Chain A
Amino acid sequence: MASKNTSFRWPRLSLFGMWIIILALLCGFGLVAGILVLINGLSITGLSDRVPWGVWITIDISAIGLGAGAFLLSAAVYLLGLKRYEPVARLAVFVGLLCYTSALLTLLLDIGRPDRFWHGWVYWNTHSVMWEIIMCITLYSAVLTIEFATIVADHPFFARWPWVGKLAHQAHKLMPVLAVVGACLSLLHQSSLGATYGIIKARPVWYKPTMPIMFIAQAIATSPLLVVALTIIVSRLRGRDLIKKELLWNVATFSGYALLVYAYIRFWDYLAMDYSYLPVRAESMRLLTEGTLAYSFWTCEVLLGILVPLVILFYHKLRHQKAALIVAGFLMAFALIVNRWNTNMVGLLVPTAYVSSVMPQASISYTPTWVEWATAGGILGYWLIAFTLGMRFLPIFPLTEISDKLEEAEPAKVEAVASSIPAIGQAGR
């Protein structure tokens, strides 16, 4: 027996293999929880009639917010003609597709009747913000899929079927159209996610016109910087700069100004809400600033999500540090998720007043159950595993085929590629 034990060897795993296994476990665990939800229904969640939306809606609306970079950078490249940013846009499209599919997967769990997911496409209530979101994210996911397909078609694997390349070439001509359609759809639904809350008159802490603006402003500030942070990490792992760092700095600067706009709107929005007593709204504000949400508001949202990234993005010495950009990108993404959670909870955890002058005393609480966290972990696992494999196997960054591209590409593109070559030389750091 003993000899058998000593002769047994664990297969040696690369770091990459271990990473994939961990993520696969996360996905598998989430899948089991997801199947349990489908079998048992939503009664195994912590949700209730008083708090009907919780962890999952947070994932839905934050994943879509974090995917906003796709439409922004596509618009920059194909509408404003900032061709230099095409590699960033390609990554942003990939990130966007992963975010939107994550949101769609979560939505499937969140609705009580997943078998009726298609009802929104067939039974139209054009008055409903939710209907508009369903239509927009479906159509926009289709746009992202087409944009993504043209990227995948660059893979040498498809060289054996010439028609794939031809089709992709034709589709590529459509890019400006897709960029316009995508931008329109995104501007609609990114803000509508905020309007979902903003139109609810029964919850005075939500009911305000700034809601859609704050949602889209935060998404516009956060998502491009997340793409930058991811680019830097992947570049580090690949051992070379995948995208010219001046481009990344420019995107970071853009994110900085967008964050400033968001912070400004947010500041006045919240200051204005604190100035007069309105039943229920005041209680909600107290919950956010002094109650159970105070830590996630002041520390996660304000300090880590706004102040620290502002310092990093506006202090030029920090802005040009890759590590600092990674920190800023992830802090802002984290803050966006926390913001969506706080926004949802601040309205739901305070009871609505049935008689306008009487503040109800009922206490409402929401504790997510393990299935909600497990499915959330599964979604994160799906995102990371797809991102990892995509970075490994998909031609997201076209620099690997520079030599082929140089011959067939048009002058403008040759220029762009040529100008990016020094960046490879400097890859050392």
Chain B
Amino acid sequence: MSELKISRRDFLKYAGLTGGGILVAKLFASGRVSPLDAVDAVASDAASAAQSKHRWAMVIDQGKCIGCNYCTYACKAVNDIPGEAQWNTVSVEGQTTKGPTYLPRQCMHCENAPCVEVCPVKATFHRADGLIAMDYGKCIGCRYCEIACPYGARVFDWQDPTKLQNSYVPKWGVPEIPRRPRGIVEKCTFCAHRIDRGLAGGQMPGVDREATPACVNACPVGARLFGDLNDPQSLVSQALAKRRSFRLREDLGTNPRVYYLSA
């Protein structure tokens, strides 16, 4: 028999082996086992058991928003976002008899987040409390998450942020987190550093200013509310119970954590 020949039996053997390999890979996938992430997974599961009692959400009242962009400015200062980039955007959405309506936008911290699904290296992930976070040390800058995000919430560091000026400091606040390096993707964190620090110090995010996202504090007309949806007494739960609300692109099934009260 020629060395190049392959019998049907051999073919089936090899095909079976390959299929088996895929099955093993599938098992790995379902068990969330991967060489370096196994440890992380265990750690975050333990944390989620302790922390999942909160379900953070933001409510934005379009009837109150005057499009002043203070939220954007405070965000740029507190999160130290230099240059043109912004995590929060306010755009004109439409027109009512009273004037234009505005659509402030940021990361929606989706429950079913397309960015988390598509990221090849788990650089963007659900924190134990459900917020979407970035691991700046893992991100390879492929920008697939930017492509997948339905809300245009993600920002790539095209230039080196450390070489840019942040003109919003100190007028709108002082930086509370370090600047990111060039070549990675970043986005709104719901000021997770404030939430974590506040909870550790016995404060309640959404009530105590030090534990509340910068954009909520900066709003001069009180159009933004923040709080825990699991707590029926929280500002967000109360607002959503009283008023009719909607979320962006609910048809996509992403289940965002940012709610809008219609103008």
Q: How far is the CB of A47 from chain B (nearest CB, A)?
A: 7
Asked if residues A52 and B3 are in contact (CB atoms below 8 Å), the reply is no
Residue of A nearest to B159 (CB): A43
Restricting to B109-131, which residues have a CB under 8 Å from any CB of A?
114, 116-123
Interface centre among A172, A353, A354 (most CB of B within 10 A): A354
Q: Flag whether A261 is at the interface (Cβ < 8 A).
A: no
Whether A111 is near chain B, meaning CB under 8 Å from some CB there, is yes
Could you say which interface size class chain A belongs to?
A: 35 or more
B119 close to A50 (CB less than 8 A): no
Q: Which residue of A lies closest to B252 (CB)?
A: A201
Contact of A130 among B5, B120, B149, B249 (CB under 8 A): B120
Inter-chain CA distance A413–B2, complex, in Å, is 8
Residues of the B chain whose Cβ atoms lie less than 8 Å from the Cβ of A42: 141, 156, 158, 183
B148 touches A200 (CB 8 A): yes
Chain B residues within 8 Å of A131, by CB? 120-121
Residues 21-61 of A contacting B (Cβ, < 8 Å): 41-43, 47-50, 52-53
Chain B residues closer than 8 Å to A77, beta-carbon distance = 4
Interface residues of B in 247-263 (CB under 8 A from A): 248-253
- Assess whether B152 is interfacial by the CB under 8 Å rule: yes
Of A78-86, A225-233, A246-254, the stretch lying at the interface with chain B is: A78-86
A47 to B154, CA, bound (A): 14
**Most chain B beta-carbon neighbours within 10 Å: one of A77, A130, A131, A196:** A130
| Given A126-B25, A129-B118, A202-B114, CB of A41 within 8 Å of CB of B158 | yes
Closest to A207 in B: B252
* CB proximity of B77 to chain A, nearest CB, Å: 20
Decide if A356 is an interface residue (CB 8 Å cutoff): yes
| Pairwise interchain contact B158-A47, C-beta atoms closer than 8 A | yes
Q: Which stretch in B28-36, B165-173, B213-221, B231-239 binds the other chain?
A: B28-36
Whether A354 lies near B248 (C-beta < 8 A) is yes
Does the CB pair A49–B146 fall under 8 Å? yes
Q: If A119-B140, A126-B34, A202-B114 touch, does A177 touch B156 (CB 8 Å cutoff)?
A: no
Least CB distance from B23 to A in Å reads 13
Interface residues of A in 182-217 (CB under 8 A from B): 184, 196, 199-203
**Which residues of A155-185 have CB atoms within 8 Å of chain B's CB atoms?**
172-173, 175-177, 180-181, 184
Q: For chain B residues 157-209, which have a beta carbon within 8 Å of chain A? A: 157-160, 182-185
Which residues on B sit within 8 Å (CB–CB) of A358?
93-94
Residues of A close to B154: CB separation below 8 A: 49
**Which residue of chain B has the shortest Cβ distance to A132 in the bound complex?**
B120
CB of A355 within 8 Å of the partner chain:
yes
Residue A238 CB within 8 A of the other chain: no
B6 and A112 within 8 A (CB): no
Give Cα A172–Cα B138 distance, bound, in whole angstroms: 39
Residues of A within 8 A of B18 (CB): 180-181, 184
CB pair A410 B6 closer than 8 Å? no
Question: Taking the complex as formed, is A124 at the interface, i.e. its CB lies under 8 A from any CB of chain B?
Answer: yes
- Check if A301 is an interface residue, CB within 8 A of chain B: no
Contact check, B182 vs A130: say whether CB atoms are below 8 A apart. Answer: no
B249 pairs with A356, CB closer than 8 A: yes
3 interchain residue pairs of minimum CB distance = A112-B141, A112-B183, A202-B150
A-B contact sample (9 more), CB < 8 A, given A50-B152, A79-B6, A201-B150: A43-B158, A47-B158, A49-B156, A112-B185, A123-B123, A124-B35, A131-B120, A354-B150, A411-B2
